Amino acid sequence: QQPVQSPQAVILREGEDAVINCSSSKALYSVHWYRQKHGEAPVFLMILLKGGEQKGHEKISASFNEKKQQSSLYLTASQLSYSGTYFCGTGNNFNKFYFGSGTKLNVKP
Protein backbone atom coordinates (compact mmCIF):
# COMPACT_ATOMS: atom_id res chain seq x y z
CA GLN A 1 0.00 0.00 0.00
CA GLN A 2 3.05 2.21 0.27
CA PRO A 3 3.34 4.62 -2.68
CA VAL A 4 6.47 4.28 -4.77
CA GLN A 5 8.65 7.29 -5.47
CA SER A 6 11.16 7.93 -8.21
CA PRO A 7 13.95 8.66 -8.42
CA GLN A 8 15.33 7.21 -5.17
CA ALA A 9 18.01 9.88 -5.07
CA VAL A 10 19.01 12.95 -7.03
CA ILE A 11 21.97 15.32 -6.90
CA LEU A 12 21.55 18.88 -8.13
CA ARG A 13 23.59 22.02 -8.42
CA GLU A 14 22.07 25.17 -7.00
CA GLY A 15 19.66 26.69 -9.48
CA GLU A 16 18.80 23.42 -11.21
CA ASP A 17 15.31 21.94 -11.35
CA ALA A 18 14.05 18.54 -10.24
CA VAL A 19 10.90 16.45 -10.45
CA ILE A 20 9.96 13.79 -7.93
CA ASN A 21 7.25 11.32 -8.81
CA CYS A 22 4.90 9.37 -6.58
CA SER A 23 2.67 6.57 -7.77
CA SER A 24 0.30 4.15 -6.13
CA SER A 25 -1.23 0.83 -7.12
CA LYS A 26 -4.39 1.87 -5.27
CA ALA A 27 -6.64 4.86 -5.74
CA LEU A 28 -5.24 8.08 -4.32
CA TYR A 29 -7.81 10.20 -2.54
CA SER A 30 -5.36 12.84 -1.48
CA VAL A 31 -1.62 13.32 -1.65
CA HIS A 32 0.61 14.97 0.93
CA TRP A 33 4.20 16.04 0.42
CA TYR A 34 6.72 16.29 3.27
CA ARG A 35 10.41 17.08 3.51
CA GLN A 36 12.63 15.60 6.19
CA LYS A 37 16.10 16.89 6.87
CA HIS A 38 18.67 14.63 8.48
CA GLY A 39 18.00 14.17 12.18
CA GLU A 40 14.77 16.19 12.06
CA ALA A 41 11.06 15.48 11.88
CA PRO A 42 9.13 15.56 8.58
CA VAL A 43 7.77 18.99 7.68
CA PHE A 44 4.56 19.43 5.70
CA LEU A 45 4.91 21.06 2.26
CA MET A 46 1.48 20.78 0.69
CA ILE A 47 -1.61 18.65 0.21
CA LEU A 48 -3.57 17.98 -2.98
CA LEU A 49 -7.12 16.89 -2.48
CA LYS A 50 -8.52 16.24 -5.92
CA GLY A 51 -7.50 15.12 -9.33
CA GLY A 52 -6.13 17.80 -11.57
CA GLU A 53 -5.21 19.99 -8.65
CA GLN A 54 -1.95 21.86 -8.79
CA LYS A 55 -0.43 23.86 -5.98
CA GLY A 56 2.57 26.05 -5.55
CA HIS A 57 4.66 27.01 -2.58
CA GLU A 58 7.33 29.54 -3.55
CA LYS A 59 9.47 27.57 -6.01
CA ILE A 60 8.02 24.23 -5.02
CA SER A 61 4.82 23.05 -6.66
CA ALA A 62 2.95 19.80 -7.15
CA SER A 63 0.34 18.20 -9.36
CA PHE A 64 -2.06 15.33 -8.83
CA ASN A 65 -3.32 13.03 -11.58
CA GLU A 66 -6.09 11.08 -9.92
CA LYS A 67 -6.76 8.79 -12.90
CA LYS A 68 -3.14 7.75 -13.19
CA GLN A 69 -2.86 7.51 -9.40
CA GLN A 70 0.20 9.71 -9.56
CA SER A 71 1.53 12.93 -8.12
CA SER A 72 4.63 14.92 -8.97
CA LEU A 73 6.60 17.47 -6.96
CA TYR A 74 8.44 20.17 -8.91
CA LEU A 75 11.44 21.94 -7.42
CA THR A 76 12.48 25.01 -9.40
CA ALA A 77 15.80 26.85 -9.16
CA SER A 78 16.83 24.67 -6.24
CA GLN A 79 18.52 26.14 -3.19
CA LEU A 80 20.86 24.52 -0.69
CA SER A 81 18.01 24.55 1.82
CA TYR A 82 16.02 22.18 -0.39
CA SER A 83 18.32 19.29 0.51
CA GLY A 84 16.63 16.50 2.40
CA THR A 85 14.45 13.48 1.85
CA TYR A 86 11.08 14.09 0.24
CA PHE A 87 8.14 11.85 1.00
CA CYS A 88 4.76 11.72 -0.58
CA GLY A 89 2.00 10.32 1.56
CA THR A 90 -1.51 9.18 1.07
CA GLY A 91 -4.49 8.31 3.20
CA ASN A 92 -7.63 6.63 2.00
CA ASN A 93 -9.74 7.76 4.89
CA PHE A 94 -9.58 9.94 7.94
CA ASN A 95 -6.93 8.01 9.77
CA LYS A 96 -4.79 5.61 7.75
CA PHE A 97 -1.76 7.21 6.24
CA TYR A 98 1.15 5.76 4.30
CA PHE A 99 4.37 7.47 3.40
CA GLY A 100 6.01 6.83 0.05
CA SER A 101 9.41 5.22 -0.29
CA GLY A 102 11.23 8.57 -0.25
CA THR A 103 13.54 10.54 -2.55
CA LYS A 104 16.81 11.87 -1.21
CA LEU A 105 17.70 15.24 -2.70
CA ASN A 106 21.18 16.69 -2.37
CA VAL A 107 21.71 20.24 -3.61
CA LYS A 108 25.34 21.24 -4.00
CA PRO A 109 26.85 24.73 -4.39
Partner 1 sequence: DTEVTQTPKHLVMGMTNKKSLKCEQHMGHRAMYWYKQKAKKPPELMFVYSYEKLSINESVPSRFSPECPNSSLLNLHLHALQPEDSALYLCASSRGGDEQFFGPGTRLTVL
Binding site for partner 1 (CB under 8 A): 2, 30, 32, 40-44, 47, 87, 91, 93-102
Using CB atoms within 10 A of its CB, is residue 41 exposed (0-12), middle (13-18) or buried (19+)?
exposed
Handedness of CA 34, 37, 39, 40 (dihedral sign): negative
**Residues 65, 58: contact at Cβ < 8 Å?**
no
Choose between 5 and 78: whose C-beta lies nearer to partner 1.
5
Instruction: Output the smallest distance, CB 55 to partner 1, in A.
Output: 13
Choose between 18 and 45: whose C-beta lies nearer to partner 1.
45
Choose between 74 and 99: whose C-beta lies nearer to partner 1.
99
Instruction: Output the smallest distance, CB 15 to partner 1, in A.
Output: 27
**Residues 105, 18: contact at Cβ < 8 Å?**
yes
Instruction: Output the smallest distance, CB 70 to partner 1, in A.
Output: 18
